[in-house]
Copies of this chain bind each other. A is one copy, B any other.
Amino acid sequence: MGSRLCKRAVRSGFTDYPFFDPILDMPPSMNPPISAGHPDGAGSNEIVRTDLSTPAVGRLSLYFRELHRLLDAGQTSTNSRDLAAMVNVSAAVVRRDLSSIGSVGRRGVGYDVASLADHIGVVLGSGVHWKAVMIGVGFLGNALLRYRGFERLGFSLAAAFDTDPTKIGGVVGNTKILPMDQLEPVLRELKPELAILAVPSEQAKEVAAQVVALGIQGILNFAPTTLRVSSAVAVINVDLASELQQLAFRIQNA
């Protein structure tokens, strides 16, 4: 089921789910849910092996972010109402999402922030150490390499690649920039799961094919082009101009 899901190149933003499944011809949100859950329980919560819809995964990711913000602020407990306000959903949705992963708040007490954060983290795989490589260190690649939000979620940017000789050998964030001709040996050695593509459109397809051939399992693609890769590879596309266009559409039609 997961692999069929991964066939879709999923875009980002308000057009969230712009792609219909070519076979089922229905919006992804109506597709069978992703089988989720983690075989190993953690913390005080029992992990229920359950089915999570793709929107639910997105919301869990946001609860996780907000719970960590609470932890940083020293807050030890929270409730569905407060969580709901933090991510703009209803408290009923929060309760349903959390109970679907086996976390039930106690009436009048709510949720323990630390254990709920840990629990969602396990479901989302944030305890797993993921290795990513950056392909393309232009202005966007540069900004992404310096973005500390990735590390906080357990992602390390293990290496970056560019064709520009003036950039090669430099370090951005904590990541060294290597020449593209080292892509093969470095990926074979580091075995990263993820590649972030911040290359021009014209190069994106070729680069995607290269990293997939070298065993990359997931691609976060910032090039404004739709990648067509093996169904075994997950792709998330972020098209920044399209986001702005959709924002404009919403304003125009408000």
Chain A residues within 8 Å of B, Cβ to Cβ? 2-3, 5-6, 8-20, 22, 25, 27-30, 34-36, 38, 54-59, 61-62, 64-66, 84-90, 92-93, 124-126, 128, 130, 132, 138-140, 142-144, 146-147, 149-150, 152-153, 155, 193-194, 196, 217-220, 224, 226, 228, 232, 234, 236, 238-254
Contacts of A36 in B (CB 8 A): 249, 253
User: Min CB distance, A150 to chain B, in Å?
Assistant: 5
Among B130, B217, B226, the residue within 8 A (CB) of A88 is: B226
A248 in contact with B125 given A142-B143, A254-B6 (CB within 8 Å): yes
What's the number of copies of this chain in the assembled complex? 2
Report the separation of the CA atoms of residues A65 and B223 in the bound assembly, to the nearest whole angstrom: 12
Question: Is the Cβ of B10 less than 8 Å from the Cβ of A56?
Answer: no
Report the separation of the CA atoms of residues A20 and B90 in the bound assembly, to the nearest whole angstrom: 7
Question: Is the Cβ of B8 less than 8 Å from the Cβ of A59?
Answer: no
User: Min CB distance, A220 to chain B, in Å?
Assistant: 6
Chain B residue with Cβ nearest A65: B224
Most buried by B among A27, A155, A253, A254: A253
